[in-house]
A = this chain, B = another copy of it.
Amino acid sequence: MSEEVTIAVDAMGGDDAPGVVLDGVAQALEADGALHVVLCGPAEVVEPFAAAHERCEARATTEVVGMGEHPAEAVRKKKDSSVVVGCRLVKEGAAQGFFSAGSTGACLAAGTLVMGRIKGVSRPALATVIPSPVRPVVMCDIGANADCKPAYLVQFAQMATIYAERIVGIENPRAALLNIGEEEAKGSQFAQEAYALLKEQLPNFAGNAEGGDILPAKFDVIVTDGFTGNVCLKTIEGTSKTLFKTLKGVMMKTPVTKLGALAIKGGLKELMAQVSPDTYGGAPLLGVKGALLVGHGSSNAFAVKNGVLTTAGVVRAGVSEIIAQTVAKGA
């Protein structure tokens, strides 16, 4: 039997909250008998749900951080918002992890300010599993740090490697630096400095990855600054979405193509699931004390379920503890 774990969940996070969040939490509780959830949100939302579900506790909150608010300011001011309360529950030990599909900025700010950085970590970083049809690839940073120093990337790579091994199940992950050429001397000054540091300090460093190497999964871990990582991740999502949409147009064109589409529908659905971010349910903020997963704003119940279960998995695998040991050793 799995270890008992308590995860705080933001009932108000995401475009379709609280509906899909509640459905997702219910599914996660059903799937994992050792999972406990503290549901954070308005009393009228969280209390009836908690009363109706085993292993679920309500934590009523009175404030909401809007998508348009300045994240750090909102986190400082709105101490009784679900995102701040969720992180505080982790800080105080009432939960071991927090999941939210709300504003990424607010989650990053709350994670860093409320849960706190692991000693020795320069900058917590947001990682994600790139949903490749070939095999999963972990990318870090995908947006927590728009401005980076080259040295940060060594820690990003260390943390993402741990996540790739312990959570995604990749053995001996090979980590690469996102760059604009294969050779060592290629790229911006930043990339060249990062290359030198990674080569010196990261045992599993495998060289430069180009943009075209990501989805074919030429490497297991891709490390980059949060600006490039975010652009890259959203480019992959936008490209997949546009191609599938256009493909749908091709298939719906005539009665004959419709018939043809019917024949490949099953396989196509499988492929679309493989490249859907919902499968992994969220992006972990690595380097904070405790587990924090940020879900896609467009998360459906399936994504929320997977996000909550993955957050529990991050706790059980001791990702934060391993990061603390690795980074302390590296420092």
Chain A residues with a Cβ under 8 A of chain B: 68, 132-134, 143, 146-147, 178-180, 183, 187-191, 210-216, 225-228, 230-243, 246-247, 250-251, 253, 256-257, 259-264, 267-268, 270-271, 274-275
Contacts and interface: CB of A to CB of B under 8 A. Distances in A.
A261 B210 CA distance: 32
B247 A268 contact: yes
Contacts of A215: 235, 238-239, 241-243
Contacts of A270: 250
A73 to B, nearest CB: 12
Contacts of A183: 68
B234 A211 contact: yes
A181 to B, nearest CB: 8
B243 A268 contact: no
Given A180-B230, A247-B247, 5 more contacts: A68-B183, A212-B235, A215-B238, A231-B232, A232-B235
B250 A191 contact: no
Contacts of A268: 247, 250
Contact of A235 (B235, B261, B262, B264): B235
B261 A237 contact: no
B226 A211 contact: no
B133 A246 contact: yes
A267 B239 contact: no
A242 B261 CA distance: 20
B230 A232 contact: no
18 contacts: A132-B242, A133-B246, A146-B180, A146-B191, A179-B231, A180-B230, A187-B227, A214-B239, A215-B243, A216-B241, A227-B228, A228-B231, A240-B243, A243-B275, A250-B267, A253-B267, A257-B267, A260-B261
Contact of A260 (B146, B225, B263): B263
Contacts of A147: 188-190
A154 B263 CA distance: 50
A263 B257 contact: yes
Contacts of A263: 256-257, 259-261, 263
A312 to B, nearest CB: 29
A263 B261 CA distance: 8
Contacts of A261: 260, 263-264
B260 A227 contact: no
Contacts of A143: 180
Contacts of A214: 235, 238-239
Contacts of A133: 242-243, 246
B213 A238 contact: yes
B243 A243 contact: yes
